Amino acid sequence: MKKKSLSPKELKKSLGHAWEGLNDMLKTEHMAWLHAGMTLLVLAVCWWIQLDLAKFCFILIAIAAVWVVECFNTVIEIITDHVSPQYSPTAKRAKDISAGAVLIACIGAALIGLIILGPPVAEKLGFLLK
């Protein structure tokens, strides 16, 4: 079976669906706003301390990981609510485990941020406080 190439029109349509999904998540999920705020804060700190490119790449990977896991968590919650509108211990387990994955990603990202950003921020603040 021959693979069909992706036309520019189809690519634009696919990207439009992806943006629509992210927009939906930002409109409906309060944790997405927390992630967005933390993303902007961390990026601002990276700019403020003029973080080098290699370390900045690790920060971007950590940020992307949190967003990807949050997207999957949101999808799992939506599907679970759809197939199990009434309370179900199994549905609760699925949602709790999915939320736990987000927590793990957030803790990992926070640790990466502290390890990479902590020393230069402390140095910069120390300089400002002198």
pTM higher than 0.95:
no
**How many CB atoms lie under 10 A from the CB of residue 63?**
19
Distance between CA atoms of residues 9 and 76, nearest Å: 30
Domains of the chain listed by start with CATH number: 18-129 (1.10.287.3610)
Please tell me the predicted confidence (pLDDT) of residue 129: 65
Examine the pLDDT at 126 and tell me if it is beyond 90.
no
39: left (phi over 0), alpha (psi -120 to 50) or beta: alpha
Question: Residues near 14 by Cβ (< 8 Å), separated by ≥ 6?
Answer: 6
pLDDT digits (tens, 9 = 90+) for 46-92: 999 999 999 999 999 999 999 999 999 999 999 999 999 999 999 99
